[in-house]
Amino acid sequence: MKQIQYFFLALLLMGIVWSGCKDDDNPITSQLSEAAYEDAAYTIAGAVGDENGGATQSVGDLLTFQAVGSLNFVTPTADGGVETVTSDAGTYDPATGWWTVEISRSKTNNRVTMSLTRTYQFRFWKNNTQYQQYYVTNNDTAVKMELNIVSGSGYFKNKIVTHHLTQLEGGWLASDINKDTVTITLTKNYVRKGVDSVVTLRASRIFDHTLTLTSVNLKTLRFKPSQTKPFFEWRDNLANAISGTIKGNITATATITRGDDDKVRTINKDFEITVGGGEGMISMDGRKFKGDMKYGDRP
């Protein structure tokens, strides 16, 4: 009888030891899980930034079309860089009210290198039912403006992430563009597909992803030619002046290389960004990650 008791006691002890070994492995599993959130946060920050061609930049382009009607300039920036933007003259379709314009942009500073192309359509609304050709047409000032992203391509690189854009589309609406404070929302989802290379001290990862913004509610001050602040100063400060919330989803397949070992994992997470003071606080499953709305990176 005692032999049987000893046998079951031995099995119990072996189970405890084995369970302890599994517990020792959990920090590694947890670490990999946390790394997935970190990678997603880097990609989300890049997708909504300004200087690197993210969502904030397209909002800035919308407000620039409203304010000065053109996107052709070469200018030094406050961070020591140079930005070059060129666009065609655009074509106007009086039957639909849409302008179509193609732009190219490049920028280099001490935080990011970026090059991109965009095809935009934008339209001014005299009221809720009538569109007009310009922001001010026959003394009528538009009250809102739409901007559709027809297509986009390009890349950016910062100290952690190298991003290659493979697909871009979306639709923005700027309301109250005849007032001091403008409200920015979506007319259709902002969808961004790309491949990120994320390099840290721990590992390198290839992050093939689709990011979708499904809800945006932002406010910012529009540029007025009568104000004393120069346009380029207003535009350079735009990311610091925006506030509100952004919601979306990110799906991705990540290939992680650590030494000679490769692992593949997938992620599918909803997120919310609280925007204000130049920061975007990214929330996923109770975890929070700080992003920089101007540079599209993480401090």
Which sequence spans correspond to the domains of the chain?
2-292
Higher pLDDT, residue 5 or 94: 94
CA 146 – CA 171 distance, rounded (Å): 7
- Mean pLDDT on 86-98: 95
Report the pLDDT value the prediction gives residue 126, as an integer from 0 to 100.
97
Q: What is the mean pLDDT of the chain?
A: 87
- Mean pLDDT on 216-227: 88
Report the pLDDT value the prediction gives residue 17, as an integer from 0 to 100.
39
pTM comes to 0.85
56: helix, coil or strand? helix
Q: For the ranges 6-20, 48-62, 167-181, 280-294, which has the lowest average pLDDT?
A: 6-20
Closest CA to 275 of 84, 64, 109, 44: 44
Residue 82: strand pairing partners: 76, 108
Closest CA to 51 of 128, 154, 166: 154
Positive or negative, the CA dihedral 128, 134, 135, 139 is negative
Burial-class residue 4 by CB neighbours within 10 Å (0-12, 13-18, 19+). Answer: exposed
- Mean pLDDT on 233-253: 95
Higher pLDDT, residue 87 or 276: 276
Report the pLDDT value the prediction gives residue 145, as an integer from 0 to 100.
98
CA 121 – CA 98 distance, rounded (Å): 6
Strands 181-199, 140-141: parallel, antiparallel or unpaired by DSSP? unpaired
Q: How confident is the model at residue 32 (pLDDT cuts 50, 70, 90)?
A: very low
Q: For the ranges 10-19, 71-80, 139-148, 202-211, which has the lowest average pLDDT?
A: 10-19
Going through the chain in order, the beta strands assigned E by DSSP cover 73-76, 82-87, 91-93, 98-108, 113-125, 131-132, 136-137, 140-141, 144-157, 161-175, 181-199, 204-221, 243-258, 261-276, 279-284, 287-292
In the predicted structure, residue 90 carries a pLDDT above the cut 50? yes
Report the pLDDT value the prediction gives residue 80, as an integer from 0 to 100.
66
pLDDT per residue as tens digits for the range 38-57: 889 999 999 999 989 999 99
Report the pLDDT value the prediction gives residue 74, as an integer from 0 to 100.
66
**DSSP track, 246-261:** EEEEEEEEEEEEETTE
In the predicted structure, residue 243 carries a pLDDT above the cut 70? yes
